[in-house]
Amino acid sequence: MSTPLLKVENLRIALAGHDATYSAVENVSFEIGRGEAFGLVGESGCGKSITALAVMGLLRRPLSLGGGRIVLDGQEIQDVSAAEMRRLRGKRIAMIFQEPMTALNPLSPVGRQIAEMFVLHQGMGWKEAMDRAEDALRQVRVPSPERRIKDFPHQLSGGMRQRVMIAIALACGPDLLVADEPTTALDVTVQAEIIDLMAELCAAKGTAILMISHDLGLVANMCKRVAVMYAGRIVESQPADAIFATPSHPYTRGLVDSLPRLGERSKRGRQRLREISGVVPSIAAYPAGCRFNPRCSSVTDICRTVAPDATPLPADGLVRCHHHG
Amino acid sequence: MADSLLSLDDLAVHFKIGNALGGGIKTLKAVDGVTLDVKPGECLGLVGESGCGKSTLALAIMGLLSPTRGSVGIDGLQITDSKAADRMKMARTVQMVFQDPYASLNPRQTVRRTLADPLRLHGITDKAEVEGRVIDMMAKVGLRPEQADRYPHEFSGGQRQRIGIARALILKPKLVICDEPVSALDVSIRAQIINLLLELKDELGLAYIMISHDLGVVEHVSDRVAVMYLGRIVEQGGWQEIFEDPRHPYTRALIAAIPDPFHRAAISDKAKARGEIPSALNPPPGCHFHPRCPLKADICVSQDPTLAAVAEGHRAACHFRDRVN
């Protein structure tokens, strides 16, 4: 790979508690190439969303950057000034969120919210910017955009709002789109449409995607490479097709096996679902060694004391497990 | 049918929305003419997107909403004209497991109290018997006896859902309505709860109505499946018929919308639905699905298709139900 678009190196995110500081995310490294779709998967509390916020420079107390480097197109952005970061956000990197109703300004017509991007980042006049906003709405396939630009967010359905979010995010042709659970609040048939739309627009504009989700199937469908996070660490990363075929970490294997998949029952009859025992540990009580060890079926003594290093996998991937394979 | 545990006949629940002064009263047809039955020991999967009326249907069966038209028959009793005594009997026959175990348990009651109250209410006052049944039920759902005096906040989401299931089963019902029982849980916990529900079904001979938007879960657990769209059942049949030979385009759209990295399902992308779900306040004329349907023809706009047989026990409400893919 030539120089990656985004390189995250040994990212650590600190969480200040009442009497102690915890590492909410540690030792997280990944690269995203130009125009590549990369997925970050994990359960609630694993640190995937705050990793996305760190990339956007949006960590706020009690969260803060505890170490590591975030390199966008050769430029280190973890220490740039707030003003510089504001210029980057929207222009070079943009983000869409899970719940579009809370991310949009309820008091401003959606056309104006899109046009604002052109005015702020490209110095356009409002009149021209409103014309461009209408084009942007047309691109995300909002019906009758000439009328819809005057609508307020509450007048739109959930799917339409998420289309507006996408239009805002892609307005200035960013290099990287960070999408944090963009379809979790939507119905399944609408979700399919939004995912297709995002993938299509980003492919056309050469925009890379950092996709954050709890849905391994959704991410594997859309992304070229996938990293799985558990309790603040990346436990495995692999090309998307390999992660289902040859999951290497016991946690990934557990996730792949534990969900009923369409078509399985017709082929093999109803099998008992493989369970992952136990629960996700809380941040104040992360176990020593490998953080998955209390729930792992192949746990040995070393897992309880030594955190496993990353071992490369054959197909451009890595796994953090003492007993992988 | 005589051997049915639950039989719904042309059940409708309509709501009056708005007031006479401002814009007039509109009728929201949340459930509009549903005919269904569930046999003892059977699991009926009920599928549909938000707003299709599946939860309203559940509340009507529970007797928590009174139907506008039609009837609900449970175990030989008509609940529409029921007296208080009948309602108590009905509560011993039908129980419900809710989606969100954080919201559906009383935070100020211990597990023991949550499980013992229904017993006392239904006339079981012998202390030893109550205690025995509580501990017994806790063991059945995988909780330890010493956890009986704890409060809901001391449990994880998965354990709380176990408490919710125990509460539903303590009166030994014959039918349990599970409304999205796993969608609020962490991905790695879902398999535990699905396995538990299936074990309890076999052990206690329960019938379920499994309401879910997750088709993987529905295929895994259901004997028969009903698909709802805007208040009506558009297709119903055995699980294999619904998933392998779906005849309503909406069913096909739901299946096509599932991210499917391995393309296991035999449904192509062409089956995807377009656009958004219309408001139930103002459903389209004719077939409610026609604005989103890939098979739309003139007849779909003018005529409402009936839910007619495709094969024995398999019915679809589509003018083109005999056209295979």
pLDDT digits (tens, 9 = 90+) for B94-146: 999 998 888 999 999 999 999 999 999 999 989 999 999 999 999 999 999 99
pLDDT computed for residue B265 by the predictor: 46
pLDDT computed for residue B267 by the predictor: 54
For A246-284, the DSSP string reads S--SHHHHHHHHHS--TTHHHHH--PPPPPPPS-PPPGG
Q: Are B71 and B9 in contact (CB under 8 A)?
A: yes
Backbone angles phi, psi at A85, to 5 degrees: -65, -35
pLDDT digits (tens, 9 = 90+) for A216-230: 888 988 999 999 999
- The reply to whether residue B255 touches residue A262, judged by beta carbons under 8 angstroms, is yes
Pick the CATH number of B1-219 from 3.40.50.300, 3.90.1200.10, 3.40.50.1000, 1.10.1040.10: 3.40.50.300
- The reply to whether residue A273 touches residue B187, judged by beta carbons under 8 angstroms, is no
- The reply to whether residue A189 touches residue B273, judged by beta carbons under 8 angstroms, is yes
Among B55, B155, B188, which would you mutate to test the A interface (most chain A Cβ atoms within 10 Å of its Cβ)?
A: B188
* Residue numbers of chain A with a pLDDT score lower than 70: 1, 325
Cβ of residue A197 closer than 8 Å to a chain B Cβ: no
d(CA A167, CA A121): 15
Q: Does B324 have pLDDT greater than 70?
A: no
Displacement of CA A273 from its chain's centroid (Å): 27
A235 or B156: which leads in pLDDT: A235
Q: How many residues does chain B have?
A: 325
Q: Is B136 helix (H, G, I), strand (E, B) or coil?
A: helix
CA angle B1, B7, B8 (to 5 degrees): 130
Share of chain B above pLDDT 90, in %: 65
Q: Is A42 helix (H, G, I), strand (E, B) or coil?
A: coil
Domain residue extents for chain B: 1-219, 223-325
- The reply to whether residue B188 touches residue A215, judged by beta carbons under 8 angstroms, is no
Q: What amino acid is encoded at A287 in this protein?
A: P
Q: Does B1 have pLDDT greater than 50?
A: no
3-state secondary structure B7-22: EEEEEEEEEEECECCC
Search chain B and give the residue with CA nearest A251.
Answer: B188
Burial label for B203, CB within 10 Å (0-12, 13-18, 19+), is exposed
| Dihedral angle over CA of A209, A212, A216, A220, nearest 10 | 0
Search chain A and give the residue with CA nearest B273.
Answer: A189
Search chain B and give the residue with CA nearest A252.
Answer: B188
- The reply to whether residue B187 touches residue A259, judged by beta carbons under 8 angstroms, is yes
pLDDT band at B176 (very low <50, low <70, confident <90, very high): very high
A69/chain B closest Cα distance in angstroms: 30
What average pLDDT score do residues B247-253 get? Answer: 93
pLDDT digits (tens, 9 = 90+) for B258-280: 876 655 444 566 778 887 788 88
Q: Does B85 have pLDDT greater than 80?
A: no
